[in-house]
Structure 1
Amino acid sequence: MIKKFGLAAGALLLAAVLTACGADESSPQDAPQSTRQSTRQSTSRAADPGVGHVHGLGVDPATGTVYVAGHYGLFTVEGGTLRRVGDRDADHMGFTVAGPGTFYASGHPSAEDIADGRPPHLGLIRSSDAGATWQQVALAGKADFHALQVAGTRVYGYDAQTGQVWRGEGATLTPEARLDLLDLGAGTGRPGTVYATTPDGVKISTDSGRTFRLLKGAPLLSFLDVTDKDGLIGVAPDGQVRSSTDGGATWKAGGRLPMQAVAFTAVSAERLLAASMDGTVYESTDGGTSFTTIHQP
């Protein structure tokens, strides 16, 4: 899917390359969608492998706890230290917080589960107990969502295998447009409006992901989130924060991360989380003007 783009677009896709774990699995067989995801113990490992590559970030609104999703499972940030949630070490390629204690994820089962015959793609899974356990929602064994976004009761996902955007309501997911992208953005205020960061620039869909067009005047961004009805905030390939208060008509530059972001989320217009290639997690409480380190490997 990676083509010959310009230097800036190449930087945009660098994060996608770094997060493309498990892209060479063979075609999976279908799996029962009602199956609870494995809670295999990690005691067979000599030591906990840690988070590995960071793929997603979020905050549980019920507790304010920061969550880090990575190659070897889900973790919380507590006093600068990552603490594993539950006993799973699945590869959470996609992760998003939907509400208090409610998360969505995707990716791949643990290596042990794949060796035991489990299909190598999780499809869409959901947790209602802050990541302690997970239940299957849809597309088990079929989809590998590298980007997930919730807009009210609607879920959007990007399947990295096929380059297809999916739109979900409950357990029903519908395939929509195909395009190259790294991140999706959508919000409760306009659930039918979806943004995508692509090598060509930010694209927008106003028909729930069926079609996309370039958002004129938008800067090249790696990640983008919707903060309210007209608020957008994202980070460029060089780490600079860019924001808009008018739906993307005009943009202003903010602060800059010390390294390129491989994961980013806007908890609100003021509170931002980002992770860099080396696994460092940063937080801003002033809308991206400045960042502090909340975890460093």
Structure 2
Amino acid sequence: MIKKFGLAAGALLLAAGLAGCGTGGTAERDAPPTAAADADADPGVGHVHGLGVDPATGTVYVAGHFGLFTVEAGKLVRVGDRDADHMGFTVAGPGTFYASGHPSAQDITAGQPPHLGLIRSADAGATWEQVALAGKADFHALQVAGTRVYGYDTQTGQVWRGEGGSLTPGARLDLLDLAAGAGKPETVYATTPDGVKVSADGGRAFRLLKGAPLLSFLDVTDGGGLLGVAPDGRVQVSADGAAWTPRGRLPMQAVAFTAVSAERLLAASMDGSVYESTDGGGTFTTIHRP
């Protein structure tokens, strides 16, 4: 994403016939939030940008253009009173989340810089604290690998890595999603228009992962395997990155996707529907429909 709205995102999602504002990023998606026409009305989630599950509670979280929500009895319930644009979102551990994106329209009007940098919540999204690069970075992809955090900043087109509050820039490349696991935190994968790429040095340099299918989103599972989804919605799994096996297919093209585990997967569609699989992508059920 050398441009603000992201070239890789457009390429990978347009390959599936998408347009508009998905996880892949477009000019609209990258724009800071705008206020709702009725200031008293809750604008809802808007476009879905990220998904996750709090391991402390099993609760599903949906991050979007107008804040963070939980899925409860098929409905989205806002977390706290924030309506910031969570362009990047990931669950780091029990009650601990990382996010990035843009402040709310009201905060921008009040003078807050248009980029959040990296922020963190230690209370399941109720409150947030600044971690790094406030006002500078806009991470559209975030990934935690043990104590390490990886982020892809659309302002510089670089992969950043770090622990604690210190982040270091790495390679420049066009990507949509990042994947890494706690077992091998130095190994990080990226989904790109050229195919899946892998780095063995913490994101400093990447090479093409031969044999991998074209994927929009990818995750490293707890056992060290790879699980991703193609632009056409087909789930693909691999134990070693060389041989891949297709599973089921999502009932739509994914604009957000995460493998909570090798069996539990979450995905979202352009219309805001959220899907869940509990059999490793063999089948999916709808857990929220707007």
DSSP-derived class of the 2:15 partner = helix
**CA shift digits 1:223-260 (9 cap, x unpaired):** 000003530000000000000012x0100000001110
DSSP-derived class of the 1:92 partner = strand
**Segments ≥4 residues shifted beyond 2 Å:** 1-10, 12-25
Choose which of 249, 255, 270 in structure 2 pairs with 1:277: 270
**CA shift digits 1:34-85 (9 cap, x unpaired):** xxxxxxxx9x822100000000000000000000000000000000000000
TM-score (norm 1): 0.89
RMSD value over aligned CA atoms? 2.2
Q: Is the 8 A contact 2:51 2:60 kept in 1?
A: yes
- Could you tell me how far 1:6 is from its partner in structure 2? 11
**CA shift digits 1:166-223 (9 cap, x unpaired):** 0011000000000000000000000000000000000000000000000000000000
Cα 1:7–1:204 shift into 2, 3 Å: closer
Q: Name the counterpart of 2:258.
A: 265
Residues in 1 aligned to 2:199 and 2:61: alpha-carbon distance in whole angstroms: 29
Residues in 2 aligned to 1:195 and 1:267: alpha-carbon distance in whole angstroms: 17
Q: Determine whether 1:251 maps to 2:255.
A: no
Query: Within 5 A, what are the aligned runs for 1:49-64?
Result: 49-64=43-58
Q: Name the counterpart of 1:75.
A: 69
Q: Is the 8 A contact 2:158 2:170 kept in 1?
A: yes
Cα 1:92–1:185 shift into 2, 3 Å: same
- Could you tell me how far 1:147 is from its partner in structure 2? 0.3
Q: Is the 8 A contact 1:138 1:172 kept in 2?
A: yes
Question: Which 5+ residue runs of structure 2 have no aligned equivalent?
Answer: none
Residues in 2 aligned to 1:151 and 1:229: alpha-carbon distance in whole angstroms: 13
Cα 1:120–1:6 shift into 2, 3 Å: closer
Q: Name the counterpart of 1:293.
A: 286
Residues in 1 aligned to 2:258 and 2:95: alpha-carbon distance in whole angstroms: 17
Q: Name the counterpart of 2:207.
A: 213
* Percentage of identical aligned residues: 78
Cα 1:50–1:19 shift into 2, 3 Å: farther
**Matched residue count:** 279
Cα 1:161–1:230 shift into 2, 3 Å: same
Query: Within 5 A, what are the aligned runs for 1:19-58?
Result: 20-21=27-28, 23=30, 45-58=39-52
DSSP-derived class of the 1:93 partner = strand
Residues in 1 aligned to 2:55 and 2:211: alpha-carbon distance in whole angstroms: 33
Residues in 1 aligned to 2:203 and 2:27: alpha-carbon distance in whole angstroms: 23
Q: Is the 8 A contact 1:73 1:88 kept in 2?
A: yes
- Could you tell me how far 1:20 is from its partner in structure 2? 4.9
Residues in 1 aligned to 2:11 and 2:31: alpha-carbon distance in whole angstroms: 26
Residues in 1 aligned to 2:102 and 2:188: alpha-carbon distance in whole angstroms: 25
Task: Name the aligned partner's letter for residue 82 of structure 2.
Answer: R
More strand per residue: 2
Task: Name the aligned partner's letter for residue 179 of structure 1.
Answer: L
Residues in 1 aligned to 2:152 and 2:13: alpha-carbon distance in whole angstroms: 19
- Further displaced range: 6-15 or 65-74: 6-15
TM-score (norm 2): 0.91
Q: Name the counterpart of 1:38.
A: none
Q: Is the 8 A contact 2:7 2:174 kept in 1?
A: no
Residues in 1 aligned to 2:44 and 2:31: alpha-carbon distance in whole angstroms: 23
Residues in 2 aligned to 1:264 and 1:124: alpha-carbon distance in whole angstroms: 20
Residues in 2 aligned to 1:275 and 1:8: alpha-carbon distance in whole angstroms: 16
Q: Is the 8 A contact 1:9 1:199 kept in 2?
A: no
Residues in 1 aligned to 2:172 and 2:44: alpha-carbon distance in whole angstroms: 34
Residues in 1 aligned to 2:184 and 2:61: alpha-carbon distance in whole angstroms: 26
Residues in 2 aligned to 1:116 and 1:144: alpha-carbon distance in whole angstroms: 19
Q: Name the counterpart of 1:11.
A: 15
Q: Name the counterpart of 1:106.
A: 100
Task: Name the aligned partner's letter for residue 255 of structure 2.
Answer: V
